[in-house]
Structure 1
Amino acid sequence: MHLRTLLLTLFLLLPGLVAANGPLTIAAASDLRFALDDIIEEYEREHPDDAVRVTYGSSGRMTTQIMNGAPYDVFFSADIAYPQKLRAEGHAVTEPEVYAIGRIVLWSNRMDASEMTLEDLLRDDIRRVAIASPTHAPYGVRAMEALKSVGIWEDLQPKIVNGDNIAQTARMIQAGGAEIGIIALSLAEFPDLAEHPHHLIDDALHEPLTQGFIITRRGEDNATAHRFADYMNGDTARDIMRRYGFVMPGEELPDDATR
């Protein structure tokens, strides 16, 4: 009888033990697609017993998924407002922490974006301009704000096409769905895209892309989640983030320039 009770207790505890020690699942804004992949590679090399799985998408959609019980342990958002919302509504066990400031750029693989301004998007030879959806993608919101700041948002409406997230927006331009668009600097710095020059958009034209992360309620007892969160504050992760154009918390934004 005692043996049966012990086995039943172990059976009931096992799901919790597996969750606490299983693979780390991350939901991440798509502007991190290349930088975070590099960080995870270094992290797993230094922590060979830890397995990390990441899903990329729009911050707004992932916030909704987490609120509906999606199995993510850590959430990296392109707008800290989303982690703040999750924390306020009881879906996070840590306070939202800033991990980077993002930037937006004009980018094209068909024309020299480095020689262009936002106002040039109204030119007759440009038929489609891609931005991420302002409905749920922070980079789309910042693109919209910049276009409104220079007074061309309304006139540009017939040309605008939306990607679901910023990575999809970049792919849309690459595939010819738009001649040019506004994408994340972190994507424009990836080697495949960096061979085409971009124009860094003045950050005074839009609200800051203050990016933040939290450990979700699901990740509370996952030791790997806490180790990875600490790792993001270390030199290796920060150096990789800088390489992709992110500004680290407490550091000054670089001068706006054409690259």
Structure 2
Amino acid sequence: MRFLLFLLLSLVASVAHVANAQPTKVAAASDLQFALGQIAARYEQETGNKVALSFGSSGNFARQIPQGAPFELFLSADEEYIIRLAEQGLLRDQGQLYAIGRLALLAPHGSSLKVDSELRDLAAAISDGRLQHLAIANPQHAPYGRAARAVLERAGLWAVLQGKLVLGENVAQAAQFALSGSAQGGIVAWSLVKAPELARHGVAALIPENWHPPLRQRMALTRHAGEDASRFYDYLQKPTARAIFERNGFSLPASRER
């Protein structure tokens, strides 16, 4: 009888836990929109645990977390944000390097801009007046915006593009501007333009990785992360998740780099 009572109480506790379970709240850089969405869907299917993804600029999330934003896991496009938050005692530790991002020049179908990896036609389009606007993420708080600025400075185009830049709040919005007619093209995340949802609307060329500082992307659990957040964090480091990152255009860090 006691054994049956124990089983009944255990079952009630289990049901209560499931009923009260909240999705893991994740803040993620906007270049992860497609890759992390795929990973989260796979994780939910395999485990039954839910994940709530919020995408935006890493700099904005890095400001929101000290102000009490209820995120349990932060995937940044710039590892420096993670390191600074960890130094403030807002994260469990300095986390793990999960990916290296890449940049691409993107132009919508029908654009007067022809894409090439070394931006030769971009320079020509500025000179001959074909280019009126170019979209990038805002360098003030978006790591991909800072990397885009570095690319344009290396190509000698940053100064001449002043007044022609359309700044997205994050790199996903910059890609939207580049494809919507607000600009003739943009410098955006390779991980976004590889996605079928965007690829069907334009063409892109991968920019050499040595044209900008490496986009070292790091993730970490916040200090109030729960057990389900820890499980998802661990899942992101497993071969299944890493393969999805790689398929979506990210380079994978070696184990010794992480």
How many Å apart are 1:193 and its aligned residue? 1.9
- The yes-or-no answer on 1:121 pairing with 2:122 is yes
Q: Secondary structure at the match of 2:205?
A: strand
Q: Which runs of 4+ in 1 moved over 3 A?
A: 110-117
For residue 222 of structure 2, what is the aligned residue in structure 1? 216
- What pairs with 1:114-153 in structure 2 (closer than 5 Å)? 114-115=115-116, 117-122=118-123, 123=125, 124-153=129-158
Partners in 2 of 1:116 and 1:227 — Cα distance?
39
The amino acid across from 2:130 in the alignment is D
- The yes-or-no answer on 1:205 pairing with 2:204 is no
| CA RMSD, 1 decimal | 1.8
For residue 29 of structure 1, what is the aligned residue in structure 2? 29
Partners in 2 of 1:158 and 1:41 — Cα distance?
41
Q: Secondary structure at the match of 1:217?
A: coil
Q: Secondary structure at the match of 2:65?
A: helix
Aligned length: 231
Which of 224, 239, 243 is equivalent to 1:239? 243
For residue 166 of structure 2, what is the aligned residue in structure 1? 161
Which of 230, 235, 240 is equivalent to 2:234? 230
For residue 174 of structure 1, what is the aligned residue in structure 2? 179
Q: Secondary structure at the match of 1:158?
A: coil
Which of 181, 188, 199 is equivalent to 1:194? 199
**Identity across aligned pairs (percent)?**
41
| Uncovered stretches (5+) of structure 2, i.e. residues with no partner | 1-16
Could you list the per-position Cα deviations for residues 93-150 of structure 1 after superposition, in whole angstroms to 9, with x for gaps in the alignment? 1223100000000001133644464243241111000000000000000000111112
User: Compared with structure 1, are the counterparts of its residues 55 and 227 closer, same or farther at alpha carbon in structure 2 (3 Å cutoff)?
Assistant: same
Could you list the per-position Cα deviations for residues 49-105 of structure 1 after superposition, in whole angstroms to 9, with x for gaps in the alignment? x11101000000000000100000000000000011100011101223100000000
How many Å apart are 1:21 and its aligned residue? 5.1
> TM-score if structure 1 supplies the norm length?
0.85
- What pairs with 1:35-184 in structure 2 (closer than 5 Å)? 35-48=35-48, 50-110=49-109, 111=111, 113-115=114-116, 117-122=118-123, 123=125, 124-184=129-189
> TM-score if structure 2 supplies the norm length?
0.85
Could you list the per-position Cα deviations for residues 8-64 of structure 1 after superposition, in whole angstroms to 9, with x for gaps in the alignment? xxxxxxxxx99x95320000000000110000000001111x111010000000000
How many Å apart are 1:236 and its aligned residue? 1.0
For residue 254 of structure 2, what is the aligned residue in structure 1? 250
Partners in 2 of 1:225 and 1:192 — Cα distance?
28
| Uncovered stretches (5+) of structure 1, i.e. residues with no partner | 1-16, 252-259
The amino acid across from 1:102 in the alignment is G
Partners in 2 of 1:204 and 1:85 — Cα distance?
25
Contact residue 121 and residue 129 of structure 1 kept, 8 A: no
Partners in 2 of 1:225 and 1:155 — Cα distance?
46
How many Å apart are 1:217 and its aligned residue? 1.3
